[in-house]
Amino acid sequence: MKQTNRTLSILLAILMLFSVATTAFAAGGNNPLTLVSAKVGDLDLEGAKISPNSEIVLTFSNNVTDSSVLTGNIGKIKVKDSTGTDTSAAVSPGSDKTVFIVTIGSLAKGDYTLTIGKELAAKNGSTLGTKVEKAFKVNNGNGSGTGGGNGESPLELVSVKVGDKDLAGAELEPSGTITITFSRGMDENQAANFEKIGIFDKDGKKVANVSFSDFQKPDPNSKGSYTVLTYKNLATGEYTLKLGKDLKANNGNTLEKAETITFTVKDKDDEKVNFIRSLLDKIADLFKKIIDFFKELLNK
């Protein structure tokens, strides 16, 4: 009986070591941390015009307000003005463990950017991995806009999408398309406008394999227009889409504030890695069940 117990103990120890190894490798693989949405009421924050003292609701895929990560995460969420200076926006955990509430306070009318550091972490140890930036405007409550033309029919960036998702913080395929929508018609200055839009790598070098579709209206009654940017064969890594402040609408108004949106291109082997991690997760769960079984035998 003693020999049997010793054998079971040795086997249990081996299984526990293997379980720890597979669990460590798989940690975060099946449940990575992402920003699900950034909203003010029902509006997406990106490109929105909001009132002073509004609340921005940030929803993440995982638990980011657990006591083990809460303090560090609060310090990684900031609202900056057009000069890059931090504002006094207050960050607090929401009622759900996946939510942060950002109260912007009595900010002056102007352009602002919500930034979330790439080190923001979930309870399970995974991190955001990519810095997120969401540009928005604060108005003074009378509905007047900003931009060229002193608020009359201003040019604004409405959205930058990959499919139905915001580009900011997205993880893209090496080749694909990005749809850029503006509030005004842009086709009369088309060639010049395309020169002011580009994708840049982490070293600041402009990517060459980029082309644009002609600007067109989303629908016949729309005052806005969009172009589809096509990129090809980007290497794995972090990139920034930049839109120059001199982009000009047909009515002569300009964007006035340069826009930058950061995203990443995923590794072609990511799917294989995720499959392996998923498999290891399942193996780890199986070993946990086997370990529990042997523990019961040893306790008898």
Name the domain count of the chain.
3
Residue 20: its pLDDT value, please?
Answer: 47
Same domain, 169 and 138: no
Structural domain span for residue 124: 34-144
DSSP code of residue 54? -
Q: Look up tokens 């005004």; give the residue.
A: 184
Same domain, 206 and 235: yes
Task: CATH number of the domain at 170, please.
Answer: 2.60.40.1220
Residue 274: its pLDDT value, please?
Answer: 59
Same domain, 68 and 16: no
Out of 117, 144, 171, pick the residue that ends a domain: 144
Same domain, 87 and 169: no
Residue 28: its pLDDT value, please?
Answer: 46
Residue 95: its pLDDT value, please?
Answer: 85
pLDDT string in tens for the chain (300-residue length) = 555 556 556 555 565 555 544 444 444 455 789 999 999 888 899 999 888 888 999 999 999 999 999 999 999 999 999 999 999 889 999 889 999 999 998 888 899 999 999 999 999 999 999 999 999 999 854 333 334 443 456 788 989 999 988 999 999 999 999 999 998 999 998 999 999 999 999 889 999 989 999 999 988 888 899 999 999 999 999 999 999 999 999 988 898 788 999 999 987 655 555 566 677 777 877 877 887 777 777 776
Residue 58: its pLDDT value, please?
Answer: 96
Same domain, 223 and 293: no
Same domain, 256 and 194: yes
Same domain, 13 and 54: no
Same domain, 20 and 40: no
Same domain, 183 and 211: yes
Instruction: List C-alpha distances in Å: 195 to 148, 175, 208, 223, 254.
Output: 19, 20, 12, 22, 14
Same domain, 113 and 158: no
Query: How far is residue 254's CA from residue 184's CA, in Å, rounded to a whole number?
Result: 10
Same domain, 10 and 59: no
Residue 10: its pLDDT value, please?
Answer: 57
156-165 long-range contacts (CB < 8 A, ≥24 apart) are 156/47, 156/49, 156/182, 156/183, 156/184, 156/255, 157/47, 157/181, 157/182, 157/183, 157/243, 157/255, 157/259, 158/47, 158/182, 158/183, 158/224, 159/44, 159/46, 159/47, 160/46, 160/241, 160/261, 162/263
Count of beta carbons in the 10 Å neighbourhood of residue 169: 22
Same domain, 177 and 90: no
